[in-house]
Amino acid sequence: MDVLARYEPLVDDPAAFRAACERPLPQAVRVNTLKTTVERARRALDEAGVDYDPVAWNDTLLRVPDAKPGNTWPYVHGWLYGQEEVSAVPALVCDPDPGDRVFDPCAAPGSKTTHLAALMEDEGLLVANDSNLGRISALRSNAERCGLTNVAVTKSDARNFSLKPFGGESFDRALVDVPCSCEGTIRKNPDALDEWTMDHVEGVAGVQRGILGRAIECTRPGGTVVYSTCTFAPEENEAVLDFALSEYDVDVVDYELPLEHAPGVTGWDGEEYDPAVERAKRIYPHLNDTGGFFCAKLEVAT
């Protein structure tokens, strides 16, 4: 099955979309502001002879087209985190304050966890959960390398996450970056669609609904829940939001995104979704020369 062809009706320029998906993804790193400044990180890369290009929409991101950032001393010392450019969007949309209680239910290997901690200035409580022990090992290693001290790492199925170990107190914010069919990672992983099936999309969508629902339940009234994926599939994106809107007292709210994007789709394959899902953002590879991504911001009713 030509998986990408099913999404051509959703994009403004199908030919550009297909061409972008076939090009390798530019490498990028995020400066870890808990350990250094953007200026110092750039000087360190200059001294290491690593070429980079600033990313216009966020100064903590740098593209490194001709290097492997993991081989540089700034990376080893936790000054840099290798992170796909659009992967930085959810933490910025979550926008935690220092001192907040934040829930990251699908945290490993830690790109968004470490980003959240930096935005929180390493203050408050950041619960980084995952269900996979091997991935948790990577999460803990990355948290240590980046100098995080406000992170509590837990292992559980996020659909059944318990607040009891944390005093039963709800979170101020949650960043729900769920497991998905990973269609948007095709530029980084050219074989990402080799095992694609509709059964998998439908199955993982059920998991996504459970994780998002539990995150909403764990977030206080007036709190923020960010939902994100790296897939184009409306079954995993807008349909999951539509479920949350029907089952919980939440709303999808608009937010500023300094990247070219498309709105959420309100209908797909004969299904109609709540009009509020249009406030979500779809980022296609050809729009900003990035990976594909989906991000929505929800607010829990007071």
Task: Express each pLDDT in 213-265 by its tens digit.
Answer: 999 999 999 999 999 999 999 999 999 999 999 999 999 999 999 999 999 99
Length of the chain: 302
pLDDT interval class at 72 (50, 70, 90): confident
Within-domain flag for 59: no
Q: Residues 21, 146, 180, 230: which is the catalytic one?
A: 230
Within-domain flag for 51: no
CB contact set of 43 (below 8 Å; sequence gap of 6+)? none
Within-domain flag for 75: no
pLDDT value, residue 62: 97
Average pLDDT over residues 107-120: 98
Within-domain flag for 81: no
Whether 94 is catalytic is no
Angle (CA) 190 32 81, round 5°? 20
Place of tokens 């600033």: 54
Query: How many domains does the chain fold into?
Result: 1
CATH of the domain at 100: 3.40.50.150
Within-domain flag for 34: no
Within-domain flag for 33: no
Within-domain flag for 13: no
**Residue range(s) defining the domain that contains residue 171:** 86-300
Within-domain flag for 32: no
